[in-house]
Structure formats: structure tokens, C-alpha cells
């Protein structure tokens, strides 16, 4: 079969022949229909992800670890965790029985690859408790997940949407009510945050911008600030920040992880809502579709500007 084959850490996968997978006991062959290539896939392939060697212990191997495919009985499913060295970027892969879930009729397989990103955006409600009419700040809004989160905020009834990032032109194109450019001095950024307070922050950045944001919420005098619920999702601006005690004591800040509220029936409810919006055309996705044969050049692209790269074998 044809596949994207990685021969060295931090290398580029190349379109090449690879042995066909053979299902063992408790396994099933999946015909791959679409795979989204995300930053985490590149980190694993480069050996920089903490779980990289466990997911790809030997080379040569095929990158990417989930996608949309068709089972031998014709069902279209989302699958995950193929058996190494068979990743998702191939014509076929092999997964454990049950390591897949149904994709509803009417959902384009390429769209199916990014539904999880939409579920992450829903954490502004499930974790942060966003209510209709409230103000939400999408911290890091120009990436794939951030752009989608702006749309989800509108669908959830946010009264005001603020978008932050490093590119004014791309921020304005999102149609947010206000934008905050994070590529300014610390003092300017703190002032911008102070002037645009929000009820909920969906944070894809962490690091320096979020540290400045949290400090900007500290009251200047002895008072109790209105609550701000911050949902931690990503760390594209840094893995650490300094959090002074005063940034929590009377600032009204509450910090939650994105998985809060998804246990029990929470995930099913969120998934159902995302599917309903998608089928109705209310929630749209920015994709860059490429054939598997173009994986070498596609893997190295830097011009996607908020579009998700989706490979279709």
C-alpha cells in the first residue's frame, strides 16, 4: 500500500510503499478516508513530544494517530491508536476492535477529522460556564482552534467576543467585537486586557500573555473584582507562567482545565450539539485538503493561516 513513511526523527514523511497491515486477534483493518495533521503529530514525529517514543517506538513508521475511515462492514468511523508502526497517514491501518466510534450520516469525512477541535471550543461553556449575553475572550484566536472557538462563542449566544493574537489583520477578519494584539509591550498589553474585561477566557496561549492577563485583573485597591472564569486549553505561548497570590485572592479569577464538565453524559451532549450545528451549516470549518501523494510538501507548509491540513488518501 501507499503511505507517508517517516525514516528519521525530525524528518519529513515521504510518499512510499509500505507493507500492508495484517489484523491480529482482536484487531480490524481500517480503510483510511481522511486524516487531520496537527502540531502534536509533528512533535511526535520529531521526537519532541513526551509520549512520542511510546507512540512511535521504531522507524520507519507512519505518522498520525487518529482519523476517519471505513470498516470492512462499510461503517464510517472515527478511529484512534493504530498499532505501531501503522499510523493513520496511509491507505489502510490497523486498530483494536472497539477503538473507533460512528460518524453520523451526512458528515464529510474531512470535516469529521476536526470535530474534536470543535468540542474543545465548547469548553467555554462546559468548563467555563458561559451564559448567553456574557463576554468571552478567545486567547489565541488566529489558530485553527481559536478561529473555530470564535464561531462557537457566537452560536452559544455570547454577547461580546474578544479575540487576541499577534496578527491584527487576521484578528479583524474573524469578525470579533474587539481585538487585542499580544505582540506589544507588557504595559500596553496589560492596559488592553484591563480595558476589555471578560466573563470567560478560553486560553490557547498560556505563558507571557496569560500571565499579563491575570495580573491585569488584580484590583488596584482593596475591592472585590467581578468573576473571570479562565479555561486552560493550550500552551502555544509557553508552558509556564508566574502566578502571584494576589492574582487569585481578590481578582475573582477561577481557573479550570478544558476537560471539566465532560464526564458522564457531558461529552455526548457536546458532541450532539456540534453535529447538529454542522449538519445545519451553522458551524463551518476551514480546511486545506491535500492528497496523500503530496504529503512531503504538505507536511512542511507554513501558509495555512488557521486552516486545518487534512490528508485524503
pLDDT in tens, 250-275: 888 999 999 998 887 788 899 999 99
154-209 residue pLDDT tens: 999 999 999 999 988 888 899 999 999 999 999 999 999 999 999 999 999 999 99
Q: Tell me the CATH number at 121.
A: 3.40.50.720
Give the whole-angstrom CA distance, residue 250 versus residue 183. Answer: 28
Whether residue 126 is found in the same domain as residue 43? no
Whether residue 81 is found in the same domain as residue 195? no
Whether residue 136 is found in the same domain as residue 66? no
Q: Tell me the CATH number at 70.
A: 3.90.180.10
- Write down the pTM of the prediction: 0.89
User: What domain range is 223 assigned to?
Assistant: 117-257
Q: How many domains does the chain have?
A: 2
Taking the chain, what is the end-to-end CA distance rounded to the nearest angstrom?
A: 11
Give the whole-angstrom CA distance, residue 24 versus residue 44. Answer: 25
Whether residue 68 is found in the same domain as residue 93? yes
Whether residue 35 is found in the same domain as residue 90? yes
- Is residue 276 situated within a structural domain? no
Is the separation of the CB atoms in 207 and 240 below 8 Å? yes
Residue 146 has pLDDT above 70, yes or no: yes
Whether residue 68 is found in the same domain as residue 151? no
- With b for 16 or more beta-carbon neighbours within 10 A and e for fewer, the 62-93 pattern comes to bbbbbbbbbbeeeebbbbeebeebbbbbbebb
Whether residue 195 is found in the same domain as residue 150? yes
Which is nearest to 131 in space by CA: 200, 47, 84, 213? 200
Whether residue 23 is found in the same domain as residue 131? no
Is the separation of the CB atoms in 207 and 190 below 8 Å? no
Amino acid at each position: 500500500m501507499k503511505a507517508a513513511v517517516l525514516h528519521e526523527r525530525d524528518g519529513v514523511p515521504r510518499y512510499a510503499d509500505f507493507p500492508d497491515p495484517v489484523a491480529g486477534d482482536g484487531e480490524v483493518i481500517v480503510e483510511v478516508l481522511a486524516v487531520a495533521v496537527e502540531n502534536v503529530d509533528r512533535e511526535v514525529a520529531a521526537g519532541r513530544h513526551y509520549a512520542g517514543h511510546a507512540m512511535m517506538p521504531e522507524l520507519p513508521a507512519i505518522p498520525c494517530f487518529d482519523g476517519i475511515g471505513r470498516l470492512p462492514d462499510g461503517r464510517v468511523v472515527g478511529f484512534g491508536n493504530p498499532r505501531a508502526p501503522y499510523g493513520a497517514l496511509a491507505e489502510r491501518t490497523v486498530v483494536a476492535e472497539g477503538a473507533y466510534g460512528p460518524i453520523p450520516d451526512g458528515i464529510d469525512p474531512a470535516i469529521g477529522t476536526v470535530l474534536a477541535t470543535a468540542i474543545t471550543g465548547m469548553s467555554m461553556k462546559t468548563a467555563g460556564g458561559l451564559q448567553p449575553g456574557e463576554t468571552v475572550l478567545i486567547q489565541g484566536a488566529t489558530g485553527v482552534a481559536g478561529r473555530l472557538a470564535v464561531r462557537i462563542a457566537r452560536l452559544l449566544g455570547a454577547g461580546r467576543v474578544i479575540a487576541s493574537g499577534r496578527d491584527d489583520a487576521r484578528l479583524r477578519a474573524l469578525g470579533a467585537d474587539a481585538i487585542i494584539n499580544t505582540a506589544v509591550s507588557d504595559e500596553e498589553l496589560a492596559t488592553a486586557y484591563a480595558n476589555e474585561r471578560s466573563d470567560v477566557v478560553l486560553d490557547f496561549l498560556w505563558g507571557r500573555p496569560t500571565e499579563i492577563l491575570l495580573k491585569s485583573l488584580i484590583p488596584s485597591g482593596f475591592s472585590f473584582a467581578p468573576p473571570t472564569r479562565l479555561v486552560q486549553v493550550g500552551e502555544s505561548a509557553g508552558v509556564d507562567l508566574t502566578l502571584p497570590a494576589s492574582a487569585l485572592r481578590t481578582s475573582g479569577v477561577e481557573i479550570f482545565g478544558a476537560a471539566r464538565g465532560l464526564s458522564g453524559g457531558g461529552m455526548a451532549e457536546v458532541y450532539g450539539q456540534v453535529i447538529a450545528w454542522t449538519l445545519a451549516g451553522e458551524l463551518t470549518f476551514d480546511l486545506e485538503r491535500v492528497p496523500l501523494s503530496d504529503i512531503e510538501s504538505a507536511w512542511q507548509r507554513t501558509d495555512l493561516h488557521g486552516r486545518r491540513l487534512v490528508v485524503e488518501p
